Amino acid sequence: MRIPAKSLFRGWCRLALAVALTGAAGTAFALERAHLVQPADLSKWWLVSSTGDPKMPSYGKGLTTPTCVAVSYRIERGGATSQIKLEKVVPDGDLGAVAIEIVKGLRYTAAQQNIGKDPVYTYVVLPFNAPDVNKGPGAAAEKQRLLDPCKIDDFKLPPA
C-alpha cells in the first residue's frame, strides 16, 4: 500500500508544526522574565543559603587597595545564580574577577513571601579591604564611603 505524497507531506507539516510549537513553549519558559529587585529588598524574595569558596589571586592590580565591586545577576527558581555581569570596580583593579566568582558560588533559598520561587534580577556591592565596622562609627562611615561609588542608580533588567 502506497501513501499518497500529499498525505505524507501533510503529516510531516503537522509534525514540524508540533515540534515548533513545543520548542516555542520551551523557549518562552526558559526566558521567563525576572522581577527587578533592588539589593535592599532582596531578603523579601531570596535568602543566601550557601556561599562558594572563591580563590583570591596571589598577584594583580589593586588587590590590597580598598575597593568596591558591583555585580548584577539573576537568581533562578532553584536558587542558583546566572546572567552574572561585572558592573563596576572602584578603583579599577583585578578584584572584579574575584567578585564574579563569589556571586557564581552563591545559592539561595526562597523567602517565605516568595512561594512561587519567582526568579529575580538584582545586584550586590562587595567591599574588599574595607575597614572593620566593629572599630567604631568612623570605620562604618569610611566603609560606606567605600561602597557608595558602586551603587547603580539606573539599575534595570537586561534586554530580553
Both 67 and 98 in a single domain?
Answer: yes
Instruction: State the Cα–Cα distance between residues 47 and 70, nearest whole angstrom.
Output: 19
Both 68 and 21 in a single domain?
Answer: no
Q: Looking at residue 138, which CATH number applies to its domain?
A: 3.30.2420.10
Sign (positive or negative) of CA dihedral 61, 154, 47, 105: negative
Residue span of the structural domain in which 111 resides: 35-150
Both 24 and 41 in a single domain?
Answer: no
Both 7 and 44 in a single domain?
Answer: no
Q: Which residue has the cell 572602584?
A: 90
List the pLDDT tens digit at each of the 160 positions of the chain. 555 545 433 444 343 334 343 444 444 445 689 999 999 999 999 999 999 888 888 888 989 999 999 999 999 999 999 999 999 999 999 999 999 999 999 999 999 999 999 999 999 999 999 989 888 889 999 999 999 999 999 999 998 7
Q: In sequence order, what E strands does the chain have?
A: 35-36, 46-50, 67-75, 81-90, 107-110, 120-128
Instruction: State the Cα–Cα distance between residues 5 and 17, nearest whole angstrom.
Output: 18
Domain count, the chain: 2
